[in-house]
Structures are given as C-alpha cells and as structure tokens.
Structure 1
Amino acid sequence: MRGVVPHSRPLCMRTARRSGALLALCVGAFAAGGCDREPAAEAPTLAASGVSQPAGWADELAMPIPRDLNPDPNVLEIDLEARIEEIEILPGTKTPAWTYNGTVPGPMIRAKVGDRVIVHFKNSLPEATTIHWHGLRVPNDMDGAPGVTQPPIEPGGEFRYELELRDAGTYWYHPHQDSSAQVGRGLYGAFVVEDPADPAVFGDELVLLLSDIGLRENGDLLDADTGGNFGDLFGREGSVLLVNGKILPTLKVRNGKQQRWRIINAARARYYNLRLRGHRFIRLGGDNGLAARSEDIYNIVLTPGERADAVFTPADPPGSSNVLRWVPTERGYGSTFNRSSEPMLAIETVPDPPVTPEPIPTELRTIEPIDITNATRRTLDLTIDIASTVEMGINGVPYWQAKPLEIELGDTEVWRIVNNTPFSHPFHLHGFFFQVLDDRRVREWKDTVDVPHESELTVAVRFDERPGAWMYHCHILDHAEAGMMGHLVVRDPNAPTPADEPAAGGHRH
C-alpha cells in the first residue's frame, strides 16, 4: 500500500524498554502474592486526589452538532478539524486539549441508516493522524488505519472520508495513529446511526460518552511517559472522569419517564462499571444495534471501545437525587487494589408527578446465527513477554513481526481467542461484525468484546464482502501499541493481487 509507515516500534515500547527491569520485578511478584506498588494506570480520580471542586459545579450534557453543508436530506456533509485548543475542563483552568472542531468530545455525528456521510477532514495538529470510524462497516480505504488502509494525514494535510451507513447502532470515531496519546489528549467523538423503525417506547434518547483525561491541578495535560510503573500493564488511565466532556454533570429526570441511554466507552484503558443505587436497566443491545432480546441488568460494564444501549427508568421519589457511579472492575491482578467508587453523573428527579413507564418488548429483532459448518478455525493467543522488556503480541509475535491472516472472500471463520495473561483484554475487529459463540449470552452483533484474564472465548465472523486489509487488536491502546494487534487480508479470488499491499508491521497504532 502506498504511504506505508516505515517500520518503527511504538512510543510505549520504547518506554517499556527503559523500565523493563521494574516491570519484570513486579510481574515476578505474582507468585509471591503481589507487588507493593500502586498501579499508575489505576489512577485516582480528581475527587480522590484532593483537588477541590466547587459545590454543585456541573454543565449540560449536550454535545456539539456539526453544521450540515449538504441540502440533500440523505447526505450529511461536514467539516472536521483536529487542532489544539485551550478549553476548560477543570473549573477556572485552561487545558491545551487535542480536539475535533475545538471541543472535547468532538461534535456528535448523527444520521440514519442508508445515509451517506461526507467528512472533509483537516489535520491542524503538530503530528500525523487519521480517523477510524469505530464499529462502522465502511469501505476499506475509509477505515483510517495508517499504513494499512491509507497513508497517515500529515500536519496541514486534508482527507475526504465518505461513509455509507448500513447498520444502525452506537459508534464513535478516534485517531488510529499514535492513538493512546491522541485519544488521551481528547480526540474522540460520538457517532449515532438511527433506525427509524426502533420502538418509541424506548423513551427519550441520551448519548453518554464516557472518557477520562490526565490533568495536573493547573489544567496541564499529564501526557508524559509513566516511567514503567507496574500499572502500565493495565494501560494508562486518566485522573479525571468525564461524561460528555464534563466532570460530574447533572441530569434532570422525571419519575417513571424512561430514557434510552446510548453509552460509549471512549477511554484508552479504563473499564467502566456503572451502577445507580436502587435502579436496574433494561439492556437493548450494544455495539452494532439491538440485540435479539432485551434483558434486565443491575450494572453496565463496558470495556474500552465498547458500547451499550439500555433503557433507564427513574424510580427515585420526586424531588430527590442520586448518583451514577463508576465502580472498580476486577480485570486482572491488582486491578481493584486500593480503589473505591467514584461519582460520574448526578441525577435529580424533578418534583413533577410520576408517570407510568411503558413495557419494553422482550423480543427485539431476529438475528440468525452464523453458519459455522464449513468454517475455518484459528486460535489467537493474546500474549505478553516480560523479561528485560515488555512486549505484547498475538500468538507470541508482536505486530511488527507478524504476518497477516490470509482469508478468501466469502469465507466464514471461527476464532478461539485465548487470554492466559494476568490482565483482561478487549478485542476489537475492524470492518466486520462477529457473534460470540456462547449459549449463555443474548445473541447480538459485536465488534469489541472483553476477553477476561486467564480465560478464552470463541467468535464467528463471516467475511462476505469488502476485500482488503483490516486490523484487529486489543483496545487498551497501550497494549495495541506494545504489539497486541494484527491485520488480515480478505482476498477476492477473481481480482488481481494488489502490488501495494501493506507489509507486516506497517501500521503504527
């Protein structure tokens, strides 16, 4: 492929090599019962760190909407610029955030199934970037993987993205070039594809984009290498929790009046486990639209990159208040060490009389199981090599040494994803949806799924269209940069082999 990024190991690998001895020492402590260092990645939130917040400080949950440049009702055409902007995240301070159109998060892109979206993108950052449309099944050359599907967009460069929206669901967009740093500085935004046929009984819709950011008390970004603390192995978390770019915003609700929450985890490493005292949720689906049926749940758990679609029915008395909280999630050795829950969203129930909620249907849509009778079977073993350095990979090989998977157009494959490491890994596949082969799960289409530590799961994928090179990787972005990613090539047997196919390790995540 033209514009392939020259072979180079990512920044976090260079950091890991400087501090490998410390990391190896801490991991060696597993057998002895633990490591006496608190994980840096499991950083305390701002409230826990002692930084003061004005009582009741909050802002609205509304996210900016980009101006539509096209009069055609079936075409959304927008300008999107990545640039550094001084914005207020901590009250009374300015942060030099990396933004889309000057805001964190970037503007919410919203369209309907069947629409065409045209994005005129300009890179005004001091380094190269791209945009990956996370979860969307887009043309191969629009996927935003530099060195695999497109050249990186250099500073001052422009690129025109054209997307055909085929699938309803909750998606998001973010860089795929040095993504841990760029996402960590604020580059991400929501992308919702509506299905006009969705039942109205789901209630008023609210998009909640969850993220975190590392900030000093003066508002400066905590952007430097972490120096090899044991917590780096979990991925680097920010010190400030955000909902739609705000710290502890307030949502006003009415008792009994349902809301449909579309929730996006846009953090580069943090798992979100959400709980609301005295409430349950009705889960409608996740990554790629509605599931086959709804289910009652009492907490919502999202890995980095994953999404949830759920109905929230306020049940608190009129005039009362509650708090949606982030709760520590067990995702590997030491992941809940010295941690407590943190407030995410203040919920105030207005004094209006309660209303009677509508019943939510159990059966939502028909999703036929993928036929795996003649499927090709593979094992993808998520691995970590910790000696004097830290190197992650798949099947024992880091990305820059791996060969692509060869898949013929029209094939179905079953992947057994094995995680014998002591840390959980969210697995993300570009360009295609998959089904998790587990009878205990509600059937749905996924593009991101958690593979818990010391366990495995099996997924089925149908490669029935869109030939070309596609990425798959751990969506803890530091893990991807450390080598836990790969790419596959879907070949059309009736088409000539391209001369500019990406080489192994051509992509810099």
Structure 2
Amino acid sequence: MTYSRREFLALTGAAAGLGFPRAGGASGTAWSLLAREANLQLLPEGYPKTRVWAYDGTIPGNEIRIPQGSRVRKQLVNELTEGTSVHWHGIRIDNTMDGVSGITQDAVPPGATFDYDFAVPDAGTYWYHAHNRSFEQVGRGLSGALIVEEPRSPDVDADHVLLLDDWLIDPETGRLAENFGQPMQMSHGGRTGNYVTTNGTYDLTLGARQNERLRLRLINASNARIFALGIQGLSGWTVALDGMPLPTPQPVEDVFFLGPAQRADLFVDVTAQPGETARILRIDRDEAIPQVSFSVTGQGAKVQRSAPAPLPSNPRMAPPDLGSATPIKLVMAGGAMGRMNSAVLNGERKTFRELAQAGYFWSLNDVANIPDTPLATFSVGEPVRMNLTNDTVFPHAMHLHGMHFRAVSDKQMGPMRDTLLIAAGETREVAFIADNPGKWLFHCHMLEHAASGMTTWINVT
C-alpha cells in the first residue's frame, strides 16, 4: 500500500549477523522464564554497558518456538524488586493465562513464581512481555518473541525473527533515562527512544544469497514508536499480520507501518547482486536509515521464484455477521492539546487539572483508567461491531486481548488483527466474534497512554 506524505505524518505523529537464541521444544517441554536485572552491551562496543531488566538475562528474551496446537509451559521466576507478570500477546489464550496484573492474576511478587500453561491454537508470529507497570518494565527490556510454526513449513530458505525496539539512553553513561512516567511522555506521544535496535543490536547484519526467499517476522516491541519501513534490494509480499495469514499475499510496494505491538510476516526475495547489501530501511524524518542489513554473498538460484502461495488458514477465521452484530462505541479523549475538560476517575468526576495531578491524561468513553464495570458484556459467539473515534491529536494503537478483529470499511472487512493504528482525529470501525470467555483488556499499546487512562475491558460470558 502506498501512503501520501500527509498520511505518513498522521500515522507516525511526525508533526509533534546475530539471530535469536532459542528456547523450547516439543509439546509438553517445561522451562523457566527468569525476570531479572542484567548488564548488557546495548550500545556499540567501546560504550558503557546498560543496566536493563531482561528475561533470562538476554535482550530480547529467548525466543520461544513451538508447533501449532502444542502447549507453552513456562514458570515465571521473579528476581526483580517489584511485582511482574507475563502477557502472551496475540495468542487466543485461556483467560486465566493472559497475564494481566489486576485482571486475570495478581502481580507475581519479588522472589515468587507463577506457572503459565496454555495451548497455542494459531500458527504465526507473536510475542511476550511484562504486563505490570508495562510502560516501565517493557521499556527496560522485558519482552521476547513467541513463534508458533505451521504444521508444514513454507517454501523459504531462511526464517528470521526481527524484534524492533528503541531505548531512551545516555550514550556517555549507558544508562536508561529514569524518567519513566514523566508527564510529558504520558500526555504526548509516549516514550520514544533515541537509540533503535533489532534483536538488541543497532547494526544487525545477516547473510543471504541472491534469489533466496526469506521469511522475515517483524515485531514492534517499542513503547510508542511507529516504525515506517521499506525494503531495498529485496522484493516481497506481506503474508500475515499480527500472526494471522492473509488470504492473498500482498506485494510490498512502498512504505509500510508497524505500530507498537503489531507484527508483520514478509516473504522477500533477495534481488541484490552478490557483493551488494539488501536492507530493511527505517524512514525517519524523511531519511532512510538501515534497520537490518543482508550481506549478499553468492547466488542461491539462477532465477527468482514466482509469487508465494498463502499461508494455511488458522482456525476460527470466519468473519462476523455484520447484520446481526451488536454495536458499541468507544471515544478516545484527552492528552496534550486535547479537548477533554473532565473525566471519571475511580467513580468521581475530575477536572483535567485534577486528573493530571493524579497522573491521568486520557479517557475512554469519559472514564480515565480501568473501570470496575466492563465496557460491554457479550455472550460467547456474539458478533460485535465497535466504532472507534480518536478525538485526540495523537495516534493510538488499540489492542484487544484474547481475540482478533477486522477493520470494516464500506462494509468490507480487512485482515484479522489484534492491534489497530488509529490516526489523530480518525474514526474506524472493527468487527469481531466474542468467542473467548473471560475478562479481556482493551487498551492503547502506546504504553504510557494505557498507564495514564486509555485502558478498559470487555466481558465475554
């Protein structure tokens, strides 16, 4: 899809050679997930190390890769100084395993453990991250990739997981900026770093050969950055979004966007000549910056392959019946330069000044922070249409736990997603089938926005 400069600015808010270490194995294998502090070389060699919070002492956390239909069994061991939990982002999971502190479980105290055990019904690219004080714990490094493999491997020569992140860091000391929760970050676009990495390194370079076909699993693990990406020396197709396969692979023609928490699976063919470098480019202030490089050495095949076939469908991908769907509305308000004069906090109406003094700058349907009562209650199997209005001057990445939805435009439904970018002033509609029982969070995945008001939940009974 091609975007105009105006659309690019609206979505990004511009106006204002190592792979993953793997862990896991066959269904039923158990292993621990240790959340602790670690000193790691995030900055280039010669610069100081950085004190981070990490799963198993690595940035990102060890990749979990398992077959579709098997189980994840992980014991979280908390060696941090505060409570934490793990959310398995994008998995249509049993509600008790969703890992949301205060909703589906209590935060795991320092020195304690919690056993996660759940089935993974869908193949695709997912990830896991902390879900207690996420704006700080994810910002300090608590995230990793969760890959669920199709029963039959697709026709690719290599499969690369690329977890994109950014860090607000002092290059002189190597320290992360300790201003988590700073009002400017909370009330504006969120915490955006000054140092961008892929798989924990700023200059990730992988090997490739001309005419090889690569599967690139892109994950945006940043707190708030919207990545605008392009490809060079590669031709490719988007084959899945947020883990869910597209019915027809879509050519990558120009800039494409990856909002916080979103994922995209690309099949790309290496078109660069041997001795050249192919790249994934990050478009930042009209400058194309290499995000990932592929050093092309030799030739993998004499000719390029034809367009790829679609990935196999996941279960329960049938679209909802719009005609019988229950309509609900959600209005996002607040933030700097917004028009929110007041909102309800803990059952009491507060002025914007009072909300800001309490650390809240945003509201969903006139309520700041997560309410005691759900946004809506649905019966299992009930189709839903949700109208989303962004009445703020910032973009938001709205994420639904436990289920996927489809954007609706002119009665046409788009691909299944779990996180949707909504530009400033924009109104979007999504539809889904409420087919997973439990209490499910719905929030902005600009994590500072979620922490300061943009969090609600739905109940499926």
1:381 aligns with 2:331: yes
Q: Which runs of 5+ in 1 are unaligned?
A: 1-38, 43-59, 329-335, 492-509
Matched with 1:208 is: 162
Cα deviation for residue 321 of structure 1 reads: 2.2
Give me the whole-angstrom Cα distance separating, in 2, the residues matched to 1:377 and 1:440.
Answer: 14
Cα deviation for residue 271 of structure 1 reads: 0.7
What does residue range 213-252 of structure 1 map to in structure 2 within 5 Å?
Answer: 213-217=167-171, 218-225=173-180, 227-229=182-184, 233-252=188-207
Matched with 1:487 is: 457
Deviations 1:192-239 (A, max 9, x none): 001123532x44211111111121122111122475447951011122
Q: What's the secondary structure of 1:107's corresponding residue?
A: strand
Q: 1:232 to 1:343 in 2, by over 3 A?
A: farther
Give me the whole-angstrom Cα distance separating, in 2, the residues matched to 1:406 and 1:353.
Answer: 54
Matched with 1:478 is: 448
Give me the whole-angstrom Cα distance separating, in 2, the residues matched to 1:412 and 1:322.
Answer: 44
Give yes or no for contact 2:186–2:448 (8 Å, CA) kept in 1: no
Matched with 1:306 is: 262
Structure 1 window deviating more from structure 2 (357-366 vs 143-152): it is 357-366
Cα deviation for residue 354 of structure 1 reads: 5.2
Q: 1:241 to 1:343 in 2, by over 3 A?
A: same
Q: 1:458 to 1:226 in 2, by over 3 A?
A: closer
Amino acid at match of 2:395: S
Give yes or no for contact 1:402–1:486 (8 Å, CA) kept in 2: no
Matched with 1:399 is: 369
1:446 to 417, 423, 430: 417
Structure 1 window deviating more from structure 2 (445-454 vs 355-364): it is 355-364
Deviations 1:376-430 (A, max 9, x none): 1001111113753352111121124463122222211110111121111111000
Cα deviation for residue 74 of structure 1 reads: 2.5
2:406 to 413, 435, 442: 435
Matched with 1:24 is: none
Amino acid at match of 2:292: L
Matched with 2:127 is: 172
Amino acid at match of 1:449: L
Cα deviation for residue 449 of structure 1 reads: 1.1
Give yes or no for contact 1:226–1:232 (8 Å, CA) kept in 2: no
* TM-score, with structure 2 as normaliser: 0.86
| Greater relative CO (CA pairs within 8 A, separation 6+) | 1
Give me the whole-angstrom Cα distance separating, in 1, the residues matched to 2:391 and 2:325.
Answer: 25
Give me the whole-angstrom Cα distance separating, in 2, the residues matched to 1:231 and 1:458.
Answer: 26
1:262 aligns with 2:209: no
Deviations 1:424-475 (A, max 9, x none): 111100011112223698842211111121111111111123x221100000
Matched with 1:53 is: none
Q: What's the secondary structure of 1:111's corresponding residue?
A: strand
What does residue range 27-106 of structure 1 map to in structure 2 within 5 Å?
Answer: 60-66=17-23, 73-90=26-43, 91-92=45-46, 93-106=48-61
Give yes or no for contact 1:184–1:238 (8 Å, CA) kept in 2: no
Give yes or no for contact 1:66–1:108 (8 Å, CA) kept in 2: yes
Matched with 2:4 is: none
Give yes or no for contact 2:370–2:457 (8 Å, CA) kept in 1: no
Give yes or no for contact 1:76–1:111 (8 Å, CA) kept in 2: no
Q: Which runs of 5+ in 2 are unaligned?
A: 1-11, 335-339, 342-351
Cα deviation for residue 490 of structure 1 reads: 1.3
* TM-score, with structure 1 as normaliser: 0.78
Identity %: 32
Q: What's the secondary structure of 2:270's corresponding residue?
A: coil
Matched with 2:97 is: 142
Give me the whole-angstrom Cα distance separating, in 1, the residues matched to 2:312 and 2:149.
Answer: 15
Q: What's the secondary structure of 1:382's corresponding residue?
A: strand
Q: What's the secondary structure of 1:234's corresponding residue?
A: coil
